């Protein structure tokens, strides 16, 4: 076996072979199972896309109807899970609440039968169905309210917004949110997906797989940039302040949140779609100054950093869209998890199909034959 060069962060080291998604960062292309993200955003729904990601093909109408019905049936969470969430501190971060609740599902559905397609499907359905309910439940509980039950007459995205805001969303808001879920559902081997794969490779249960991925997504280097975009736009405060603010950042060599990407060297295709969704929302529900600030900032950054391949990434417009949908800033990452669970489950299933436990090696940099020094002589 050849000895590979050590690459911090495993940069550019293939960790798997996968047919789930594909990114071409030079051309700004993202595909799920070979289908361009632009086409899915326009024509598909999140649940249909989740089915595509997990089972590899677009469902027939009968398959999709059956899948939606199963999801709808499993949306409620047991009162014991809700009661457990009531014991969480209300100042706790919603991502921690989600990680604990996702892990807790394993207590209730622990029978592990990883070779049985029916078990895989039931676990995937339960996780897709219950994660939005748990995110909305913690939001209401921390405000001192009882969680509301899911509504069977509302589809996936509309039902989440209803459970969160306790009122039926406008159809445009629900459609925009559904597209946001589609856009964030999968993105090759990022940190949380890798974490899901490593956990899956031990053949543990799927609730542990998803809980470990949620914990990884929670870090500020991964899921949290859109929160920071919103606070940056608030800090800029006015269109007139965009260029002085940007010059200040560049002088300090600080990063501009929502710009740049390890893979994309052109505008992230998801940012282009999100920008048009933001425009539709602002047109219907009223424009606010933060959108104008964002447009001016994109223009200014492109002038100064476009030649270095620094353009808006997915996080630049998603925070603006989520704020307009009434989603609190610290729920942006849990909302990302609601969507990304589809990709994690797809990788879990793919991992199981040809599993080998992850067991990389290391380059040892310590000493050998070191003496044991008695405690009184240290």
| Least Å from the CB of residue 257 to ligand CMC | 5
Closest C-alpha to 274, from 215, 192, 339, 191: 339
CB 208, CB 106: distance < 8 Å:
yes
* Cβ pair 142, 90 in contact under 8 A: yes
Only segment of 205-213, 255-263, 338-346, 351-359 that touches ligand CMC (CB under 6 A): 255-263
Catalytic residue among 184, 261, 268, 347: 261
C-beta closer to ligand CMC: residue 178 or 315: 315
Q: Residue 260, interface with ligand CMC (CB under 6 A)?
A: yes
38-64 residues labelled b (16+ CB within 10 A) or e (exposed) = bebbeebbbbbbbbbbbbeeebeeeee
Does 313 bind ligand CMC (CB under 6 A)? Our answer is: yes
Stretch that binds ligand CMC, among 157-165, 271-279, 285-293, 308-316 (CB under 6 A): 308-316
Beta strands, E only, the chain: 21-24, 29-32, 35-36
Q: Which of 28, 150, 215, 258 binds ligand CMC (CB under 6 A)?
A: 258
CB 47 within 8 A of CB 65: no
Nearer of residues 21 and 351 to ligand CMC, judged by Cβ: 21
> Which of these segments, 97-105, 147-155, 200-208, 252-260, binds ligand CMC (CB under 6 A)?
252-260
314 is an interface residue for ligand CMC by CB under 6 A: yes
Q: Three-state SS string across 298-360, please? A: HHHHHHHHHHHCCCECHHHHHHHHHHHCCCCHHHHHHHHHHHHHHHHHHHHHHHHHCCCCCCC
Of these residues, 178, 205, 268, 315, which one is catalytic?
315
Among 160, 207, 259, 311, binds ligand CMC (CB under 6 A): 259
Q: Does 347 contact ligand CMC by CB under 6 A?
A: no
Does the annotation count 330 as an active-site position?
Answer: no
Handedness of CA 302, 259, 189, 125 (dihedral sign): negative
Using CB under 6 A as the binding criterion, the count of chain residues that bind ligand CMC stands at 17
Q: What mask, x for binding ligand CMC by CB under 6 A, covers residues 185 to 204?
A: --x--x--------------
Counting Cβ atoms within 10 Å, is residue 175 exposed (0-12), middle (13-18) or buried (19+)?
middle
Distance CA 71, CA 47 (A): 9
Smallest gap from Cβ 252 to ligand CMC, in A, equals 10
List the one residue from 261, 324, 347, 349 that touches ligand CMC (CB under 6 A): 261
Q: With the CA atoms of 185, 86, 225 and 286 taken in that order, what torsion angle do they form, in degrees rounded to the nearest 10?
A: 80
Q: How far is CA 356 from the centre of its chain?
A: 26
Residue 50 or 225: the one with the smaller Cβ distance to ligand CMC is: 225
The reply to whether 261 belongs to the active site is: yes
d(CA 24, CA 270): 13
Does position 315 interact with ligand CMC (CB under 6 A)? The reply is: yes
Is 29 or 122 the residue whose CB approaches ligand CMC more closely?
29
Please give the Cα distance from 296 to 123 (Å, whole number). Answer: 45
**Closest distance to ligand CMC from the beta carbon of 260 (Å):** 2
Rounded distance, CA 12 to CA 3, Å?
16
Min dist CB 259 to ligand CMC, Å, is: 4
Catalytic residue IDs: 261, 315
Residues in contact with ligand CMC by the rule CB under 6 A: 187, 190, 225, 255-262, 305, 308, 310, 313-315
């Amino acid at each position: 076996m050849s000895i590979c060069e050590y690459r911090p962060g495993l940069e550019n080291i293939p960790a798997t072979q996968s047919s789930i998604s594909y990114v071409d960062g030079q051309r700004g292309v993202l595909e799920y199972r070979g289908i361009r993200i632009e086409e899915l955003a326009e024509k598909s729904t999140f649940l249909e896309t989740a089915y595509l990601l997990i089972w590899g093909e677009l469902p027939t109408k009968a398959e999709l109807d059956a899948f939606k019905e199963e999801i709808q049936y499993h949306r409620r969470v047991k009162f014991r899970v809700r009661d457990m969430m009531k014991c969480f501190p209300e100042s706790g971060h919603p991502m921690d609440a989600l990680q604990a609740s996702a892990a807790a599902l394993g207590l209730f559905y622990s029978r592990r039968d990883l070779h049985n397609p029916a078990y895989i499907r039931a676990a995937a359905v339960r996780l897709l169905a219950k994660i939005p309910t748990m995110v909305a439940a913690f939001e209401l509980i921390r405000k001192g309210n009882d969680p509301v039950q899911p509504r069977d007459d509302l589809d996936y995205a509309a039902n989440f917004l209803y459970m969160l805001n306790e009122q039926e969303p406008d159809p445009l808001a629900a459609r925009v949110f559904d597209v946001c879920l589609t856009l964030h559902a999968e993105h090759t081997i990022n940190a949380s997906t890798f974490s899901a794969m490593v956990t899956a490779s031990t053949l543990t249960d799927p609730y542990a797989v998803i809980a470990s991925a949620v914990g990884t997504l929670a870090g500020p280097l991964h899921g949290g940039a859109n929160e920071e975009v919103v606070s940056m736009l608030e800090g800029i405060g006015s269109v007139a302040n965009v260029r002085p603010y940007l010059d200040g950042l560049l002088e300090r060599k600080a990063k501009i949140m929502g710009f740049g990407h390890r893979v994309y060297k052109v505008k992230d295709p998801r940012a282009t779609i999100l920008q048009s969704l933001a425009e539709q929302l602002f047109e219907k529900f009223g424009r606010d100054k933060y959108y104008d600030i964002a447009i001016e900032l994109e223009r200014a950054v492109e002038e100064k950093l476009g030649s270095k391949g620094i353009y808006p990434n997915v996080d630049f417009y998603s925070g603006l869209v989520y704020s307009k949908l009434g989603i609190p800033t610290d729920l942006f990452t849990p909302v990302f998890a609601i969507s990304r669970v589809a990709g994690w489950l797809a990788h879990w299933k793919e991992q199981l199909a040809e599993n080998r436990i992850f067991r990389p090696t290391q380059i040892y940099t310590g000493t050998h034959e070191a003496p044991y020094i008695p405690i009184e002589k240290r």
